[in-house]
Structure 1
Amino acid sequence: MLMLLENPWIMVLVIFLINIIYVTALTMRMILTLKGYRYFAAGVSVIEVLIYIVGLGLVMNSLDQIQNVLAYAFGFGVGIIVGMKLEEMIALGYIVVNVTTAEYDKEIPRTLRDLGYGVTHYAAKGRDGDRLVMQILTPRKYELKLMDTVKQLDPKAFIIAYEPKNIHGGFWVKGVRSKRLKAYDTEEI
C-alpha cells in the first residue's frame, strides 16, 4: 500500500476520492441533523471524522506537492455535489404542496386522493374570481411526480412546495399510501 502512495498520480487520486467520500458524509450528516435523525447523523459523523483524519493526514504529509492540495480542494467540491445528489435520491421527509387552480373542479382533489395523496381542499377568492386551493402532503420522493400530475390536471395551476417541520394527526398518522403513489404513471392521468 505504501508503494502505491509513493506514485504521485495514485496519491492525487486517493486524496481526491477520500475527500469526495468525506464531504459526501459531511453533507449527509448535516441533512440528517436538520431533518432530526440525530442517531443516524451521529453514526455518519464517526465515519466522516475517520475519513477526514486519513485524508487530511495524507495532504499534510506532502504540503509541498501542490497537486495533492488541489486534489483535496476539488474532492471537496465534488463531494458536495455527490452528497446533494445522494440526498435527492434518498429524499427524506415530507413535502407540502399548495396548489391554487382557477378550475373550480372538485374532481381534481378526488383524483389526487385516488392516486394516494392526502389532499385538503377549500374554496378561495383570488383577484380574478373563485379559486380551488389544495394542500397536499406527500413523501419528498414523490414531489416531482405530484407536480407533473397536478400540471397534467391543470397546466395553469399555481404551485408552491415547502417542507413541514412537524406533522401531527390527520391522514398521515396511519401511514403513507406509498404503494398507490409508486404504482401510477403520470402519463396515465
Structure 2
Amino acid sequence: MDYHLLIKIFSINLVYIMLNTMRLLLSMRGYRFPASFLAVIEITIYAIGLSMVMQYLDQPAYLLAYALGFGVGIYCGMLLEDRIALGYAVIQIFIASDNHALAEELRNRGYGVTVQSGYGRDGDRLILTILTPRSTERKLCRTIEEIDDRAFYISYDAKYIHGGFWTKRVTKLRVQRAHEALEDQEPLDPRTERVSEDEFVNDENK
C-alpha cells in the first residue's frame, strides 16, 4: 500500500470539497465572480483527484481516503467561510414595549437600530432590526445578551442591501471604534440607562 498516495488522494479531495463548499456559500450570498473563479480551480482539482482514485477502485483503503477527504473538506470549508465572514447579517430582537434601553445602548456601540411596534402573546412588543457585518455578528449577539438576557432575537443573512444608513455607516471599523469609546467611559448605573418613551420618540424624530 502506498501511504504517500493515500495522503495525496485525501488531501486533493479535501481541498476540492473545501473549495466546493466555499463556492456554494459564495453563490448563495451573491458573490458571482469569486464563485466562478473558485469553480475553475475546483473542477481542475476534482479531475486530478478522480483520475487518481479511479485506478484503485478495487482497494478499499484508497476509497476510504477519498471519502474522508470529502467529509473533512466540508467541515474545513465551513470553518473557513465562517472565519472570513463575508457579507452582512440582519438581527431582529423582540423585547418588551417599555424597554428602550437596549436600542439606545446598541446605538451607542455603533449599530444602526430600527425600531418597530409589534404585538405578541403577552401584549405590545418592540422589534429592533439591526444590520451588522457578519464578522461582528457573534459579538453583537453577546452584547445583546449582556444588556438584556431575556431578549429574544433571530439572525439571518442579508443578501442584498442598498442605500440609506446601512451602506454608509455599518462597518466593522465603526462598530469597533464605538466599543472602544464605551470601554474608556465609566460604567453607568443601570437605572440611568432606561429612558422614557417620550424621550425615545423625541430622539427618533431628531
Report TM bin, short chain.
Answer: 0.7 to 0.9
Q: Does 1:106 align with 2:100?
A: yes
Q: Hey, what's the Cα distance between the residues in 1 that align with 2:119 and 2:33? A: 46
SS of corresponding position for 2:158: coil
Question: Letter of the aligned partner of 1:119 in structure 2?
Answer: V
Report the alpha carbon displacement of residue 33 of structure 1 after superposing the two structures with TM: 1.2
Q: TM-score, normalized by length of structure 2?
A: 0.81
**Contact map agreement 1:90 1:141 (CA 8 A) in 2:** yes
Q: Deviations over 1:112-153 (max 9, x none)?
A: 112111110133333323322211111112111111111111
**Greater alpha carbon shift after TM alignment, 107-116 vs 82-91:** 107-116
Does the 8 Å contact 2:95/2:151 carry over to 1?
yes
Q: What is the Cα-based RMSD across aligned positions, in Å? A: 2.0
TM-score of the aligned structures, taking structure 1 as reference length? 0.88
Secondary structure of the equivalent of 2:170? coil
Q: Which runs of 4+ in 1 moved over 4 A?
A: none
Could you say what secondary structure the match of 2:129 adopts?
Answer: strand
Q: Is the 8 A contact 2:87 2:159 kept in 1?
A: no
Alignment of 1:1-189 (within 5 A): 8-102=2-96, 104-183=98-177, 184=179
Q: Measure, in 2, the Cα distance between the counterparts of 1:49 and 1:132.
A: 49
| Whole-angstrom distance in 2 between the partners of 1:114 and 1:95 | 19
The answer to whether the Cα contact below 8 Å between 1:12 and 1:71 also exists between their aligned partners in 2 is: yes
Structure 2, unmatched stretches of 5+, are: 188-206
Q: Distance in 2 between matches of 1:178 and 1:116?
A: 9
* Cα offsets for 1:53-93 (capped at 9, x unmatched): 11111111222222111100110011000111111111111
Unaligned runs of 5+ in 1: 1-6
Q: Give distance in 1, aligned partners of 2:54 and 2:113.
A: 55
Deviation sequence 1:5-32 (CA, Å, 0-9, x none): xx61111111001110000011111111
SS in 1 for 2:130: strand
Q: Is the 8 A contact 1:116 1:178 kept in 2?
A: no
Q: Which amino acid is the alignment partner of residue 90 of structure 1? A: I
Residues matched between the structures, number: 182
Confirm or deny: 8 A CA contact 1:103 1:154 kept in the other structure. no
